[in-house]
Amino acid sequence: MTLDSTDLFGPVLDRRVVPVLVPMPAPRAYSYAVPEGMAVEPGSIVQVPLGPRFVVGVVWDGEDDGGVDPKKLRAIEKVFDCPPLSPEMRAFLDWVAAYTLTPPGLVARMALRAPAAFDPEPMVEALRLTDMRPERMTTARERVLARASDGLSWTRSGLAHAAGVSSSVIDGLASQGVFETVFMPPPPVVALPDPAFAAPRLEGPQRQAAVDLLAAVEERKFSVSLIDGITGSGKTEVYFEAIAATLRAGRQVLILLPEIALTASFLERFQDRFGAKPAEWHSDLAPRTREKVWRQVTTGQVRVVAGARSALFLPFEELGLIIVDEEHDPAYKQEDRVFYNARDMAVVRGRIGNFPVVLVSATPSVESRVNGEMGRYRPIHLPTRYGDAALPDLGIVDMRRHPPERGGFLSPVLVNHIGKTIGRSQQALLFLNRRGYAPLTLCRVCGHRFQCPDCSSWLVEHRFRGQIQCHHCGYSERTPEACPECGTLDHLVACGPGVERIAEEVERHFPDARTIVLSSDLMGVKRLRLELEAIARGEADIVIGTQLVAKGHNFPNMTLVGIVDADLGLANGDPRAAERTFQLLSQVTGRAGRTGLKSLGLLQTYQPQHPVMQAIVSGDSDAFYQREIHERERAALPPFGRLASIIVSADSRGDAEGHARGLRNAAPRVDGIAILGPAEAPLALIRGRHRFRLLVHGRRNSDMQTFVRAMIAAGPKERGSISVQLDIDPQSFL
């Protein structure tokens, strides 16, 4: 006998078919049957069978094509008791998928990054006072009764803590019927922010900026404002006003920050203004917290989230404002799996949800700046530092005229200023964006250079650890004593500096100073937060750091910032090299003089005439931007033209190159779109995979997605070890 599925599931006619997006690299949603009695709607988060497993998916929009026999379909297993993804959220996910040329299921997966949060949070067991009283009274019991007499429900441990007794006292009372057990909703992850908690008095340019910004926010429809003002001008204070207005209007707020794990000081500042912290969202959250935040964002319990780029994919109940702080920061670009720029996608989300978006930076990206000039974004300008905080004096140290001592990297000019600064009991910061001790090790006898076995990159010496490491794949080995090539002992030399080597040099000059090295490889986030607080309290004289010291920290006693190698980022062939260097160096020198003390920033450079150096020391960023904008326009680079990267990788060099060539040959001919390459990538080998790049260059109005899609469809099939990555609006060219 064969079983007809009708017998199992009821009459076929009653069964509906819906599309469900599953977390798979499939081009479209799959069809599933809805069992009788189950209610689903577009956006419902569901569990469905997929192959031998169950996965979480989302019921999607659109009619099912009807071509499939419902009897042959597998059925939705379960609908989670969770608000469905809103129509705006679904439109946003579809848009991101189409724009980035990513399968929609992989984009939807980013909105579902908290697996245990789809079911409601369990109720919490609590105690409430009854009319019964204990037979025998003690002072401890009296304290408990006094506390609990407010009629509210208390958790066992919360009440014990509040009354200052041990939990056994509570248990004793409960066993005599003094308390009854009740269930209450789980507590919120963060308290409610109060827009009126501590509103600042805005004056001068800040007031006008706030008026302009509030005008945009109170329209309650899509617009993009660009707040541009030097570090310390009060940009944060001004956008806090926009947040307050949005909270008063009963809508949720998302603040994107480039390095959330390091922004403990931001959370505190928010708390000082609003009386409660925002909920955090980033990859370092404990899983339980993560689930709570996700759930409470969807239910609307959480009103403000401060998060890394992935927070853009949280399914807010009623989002009404996105702030993108440090909008120029390259950390907003994600370059694995789904390649997207959170700054740009934030603007898209605002457009789809019809609410305002605010971009903020002391050094806006050229793209945003041009959008401001063209009137697409509303420029809001803050020209001066708040209060008596003065900008640091900035100067160039010409390394050709003031070379360091043999084997060193600090010019006598900088060393002299460090001495004076710590002599006044103030702090100095030395910035070098290079982890480790030395970027290259070679044998003085045979010239052998230590290279990663799996990548085309040199191994970086980390002397504190006694290792040489690859910064691309993490490969490491003990620092050898002998050259593996010629066998000579003790003739290996370190070439160039990293922060550890600068620390060594500083210690030679200032053996009694308290020196600290801040580098992501030396400590975890927790430790780093503690170190940053200690530095702010003055517990170090000289701080040597990589770019993680550049962002957001306020060191009140820091009056000297030395840039060890201002030329470092200029020579890498990236069209944004000058812009990036300008942004990073401005940000680092902006760490100095935030409290009114006279301060100094020094740039060590071999190219003192370079426009970047001139722009920074003259303070004339307008001239620099005009020059950059002109260059971009001439070369039709973004935002005057469009780029897309195609990166082909394979286990063998020939396969990668052959496939890249095949793609190029398959490209359609379209007026205004040209293909460069294939060329071997600057990082030709990563983790044993050979890489070739194609760069598609189009006009501003070119349809890059259609072009690239056509090229991939007509090109050779991906087989064997070949893989193709698409990067629309690439930021990296390595």
- Min separation Cβ 687 and ligand ADP, Å: 39
The pairing of beta strand 124-129 with beta strand 78-79: unpaired
520, 231 contact by CB (below 8 A): no
Binding status of residue 421 toward ligand ADP by CB under 6 A? no
Q: Which does 426 bind (CB under 5 to 8 A by kind): Zn ion, ligand ADP, none?
A: none
Of 42, 200, 300, 538, which lies in the binding site for ligand ADP, with binding defined by CB under 6 A?
Answer: 200
Under the criterion CB under 6 A, does residue 583 sit at the interface with ligand ADP? no
Sign of CA dihedral 130, 136, 139, 141: negative
Q: Does 30 bind ligand ADP (CB under 6 A)?
A: no
Cα–Cα dist 331/377, whole Å: 22
Kindly tell me which residue out of 206, 252, 341, 368 binds ligand ADP, with binding defined by CB under 6 A: 206
Kindly state the tokens that stand for 671: 């007026």
- Determine the Cα–Cα distance for residues 248 and 157; give it in Å rounded to an integer: 35
- Segment lying near ligand ADP (by CB under 6 A), choices 12-20, 231-239, 331-339, 712-720: 231-239
Closest CA to 148 of 172, 125, 179: 179
Contact flag: residue 231 with ligand ADP (CB under 6 A): yes
Find the largest Cα–Cα distance for the chain.
95
Of 205, 229, 225, 203, the closest CA to residue 214 belongs to 225
- Indicate the residue among 206 and 411 with the shorter CB distance to ligand ADP: 206
Nearer to Zn ion, 222 or 475 (CB): 475
From ligand ADP, Zn ion, none, interface partner of 233 (C-beta below 5 to 8 A by class): ligand ADP
d(CA 180, CA 700): 69
Residue with tokens 């705006």: 88
- Least Å distance, CB 624 to ligand ADP, is 19
- Binding segment for ligand ADP among 229-237, 287-295, 491-499, 555-563 (CB under 6 A)? 229-237
- Residues in contact with Zn ion by CB under 5 A are 452, 454-455, 470, 472-473, 475
Q: Which does 334 bind (CB under 5 to 8 A by kind): ligand ADP, Zn ion, none?
A: none
Element at 697 (helix H, strand E): strand 689-699
What's the DSSP call for residue 44? -
Q: Which stretch binds ligand ADP (CB under 6 A): 95-103, 132-140, 227-235, 446-454?
A: 227-235
User: Please, are residues 628 and 577 in contact by the beta-carbon 8 Å criterion?
Assistant: no
Question: What angle separates helix 167-175 from helix 139-148, to the nearest 10 degrees?
Answer: 80
316 vs 377, beta carbon nearer ligand ADP:
377
* DSSP element (H, E) containing 663: helix 653-666
229: contact with ligand ADP by CB under 6 A: yes
**Shortest Cβ distance from residue 554 to ligand ADP (Å)?**
6
User: Shortest approach of ligand ADP to residue 447 CB, angstroms?
Assistant: 48
Interface segment toward ligand ADP; rule CB under 6 A; list 59-67, 234-242, 243-251, 485-493 = 234-242
Q: Which is nearer to ligand ADP, 206 or 589 (CB)?
A: 206
Q: Which is nearer to ligand ADP, 109 or 553 (CB)?
A: 553
Task: Give yes or no for residue 233 binding ligand ADP (CB under 6 A).
Answer: yes
Alpha helices in 185-263 (DSSP H): 204-218, 235-248
d(CA 360, CA 312): 16
**Residue 324 CB neighbour total at 10 angstroms:** 31
**Torsion sign across C-alpha atoms 637, 643, 648, 649:** positive
Partner in contact with 229, chosen from Zn ion, ligand ADP, none, beta carbon below 5 to 8 Å by kind = ligand ADP
Check whether 483 is labelled as a binding-site residue.
yes
Query: For residues 468 and 76, what is the distance between their CA atoms, to the nearest angstrom?
Result: 52
**Nearer Cβ to Zn ion (238/455):** 455
Place of tokens 């052998």: 448
495 annotated as ligand-binding: no
600-605 vs 393-398, strand pairing mode: parallel
* Inter-CA distances, 466 with 73, 363, 436, 500, 713, Å: 59, 38, 10, 12, 49
Q: Which of 202, 213, 506, 588 binds ligand ADP (CB under 6 A)?
A: 202
Residue with Cβ nearer Zn ion (646 or 684): 684
Please give the DSSP secondary-structure letter assigned to residue 552: S
- Per CB under 6 A, does 364 bind ligand ADP? no
Rounded to the nearest whole angstrom, what is the least distance from the CB of residue 544 to ligand ADP in the complex?
23
Query: Helix axis angle, 264-274 relative to 235-248, nearest 10°?
Result: 50
Binding of ligand ADP by 232 (CB under 6 A): yes
Query: In angstroms, what is the minimal distance from the CB of 474 to Zn ion?
Result: 7
Residue 234 binds to ligand ADP (criterion: CB under 6 A): yes
Q: How far is the CB of 197 from ligand ADP (least distance, A)?
A: 14
Joined together, the tokens standing for residue 708 give 């690239």
386 binding partner (options Zn ion, ligand ADP, none; Cβ < 5 to 8 Å by kind): ligand ADP
Written as six digits, the tokens of 641 are 């033209």
The item of Zn ion, ligand ADP, none sharing an interface with residue 117, based on CB under 5 to 8 Å by kind, is none
The answer to whether residue 386 forms part of the interface with ligand ADP (CB under 6 A) is: yes
Give the residue with the Cβ less far from Zn ion, 346 or 452. Answer: 452
Residue 674 to residue 698: CA distance in whole angstroms: 6
**431 touches ligand ADP by CB under 6 A:** no
* DSSP 8-state code for residue 636: T
Nearer to Zn ion, 176 or 476 (CB): 476
From the list Zn ion, ligand ADP, none, partner contacted by residue 206 (C-beta under 5 to 8 A by kind): ligand ADP
Strand segments, DSSP code E, in 617-672 are 641-650
- The number of angstroms, rounded, from the C-alpha of 443 to the middle of its chain's C-alpha atoms is 40
Q: What angle do CA 621, 626, 629 make, to 5 degrees?
A: 120
With CA atoms as reference, report the closest residue to 140 among 112, 118, 185, 172: 172
Is 455 annotated in a binding site? The answer is yes
Q: What does 234 interact with, of ligand ADP, Zn ion, none (CB < 5 to 8 A by kind)?
A: ligand ADP
* Rounded-to-integer distance, Cα 723 and Cα 139, Å: 72
Residue 594's closest CA among 396, 420, 381, 429? 429
57 phi, psi to nearest 5 deg: -135, 180
Q: Does 328 bind ligand ADP (CB under 6 A)?
A: no
Q: Which does 236 bind (CB under 5 to 8 A by kind): Zn ion, ligand ADP, none?
A: ligand ADP
Q: Does 235 bind ligand ADP (CB under 6 A)?
A: yes
Question: Given the rule CB under 6 A, which of 88-96, 233-241, 308-316, 482-490 is the region that contacts ligand ADP?
Answer: 233-241
Instruction: Return the number of the residue (687 or 700) whose C-beta is nearest Zn ion.
Output: 687
Q: Which of 31, 86, 153, 236 binds ligand ADP (CB under 6 A)?
A: 236
The listed partner (ligand ADP, Zn ion, none) that binds 475, CB under 5 to 8 Å by sort, is: Zn ion
Residues facing 518 on adjacent strands: 545
Neighbouring-strand partners of residue 253: 304, 321
Residue in 560, 514, 517, 616 with CA at minimum distance from that of residue 415: 560
By beta-carbon proximity to Zn ion, the closer residue of 470 and 681 is 470
Question: How many residues lie near ligand ADP (CB under 6 A)?
Answer: 13
Tokens 């944004």: give the residue. 576
> Residue 497 touches which of Zn ion, ligand ADP, none (CB < 5 to 8 A by kind)?
none
**By C-beta, is 361 or 441 nearer to ligand ADP?**
361
The entry of Zn ion, ligand ADP, none that residue 396 binds, CB within 5 to 8 Å by partner kind: none
Q: CA–CA distance from 222 to each of 225, 249, 321, 347, 358 (Å)?
A: 10, 15, 9, 9, 10
- Choices 186-194, 226-234, 543-551, 684-692; region in contact with ligand ADP by CB under 6 A: 226-234
Residues that bind ligand ADP (CB under 6 A): 200-202, 206, 229, 231-237, 386
Give the residue ranges of the annotated binding site. Answer: 443, 446, 452, 455, 470, 473, 483, 486
Give the residue ranges of the annotated binding site for Zn(2+). Answer: 443, 446, 452, 455, 470, 473, 483, 486
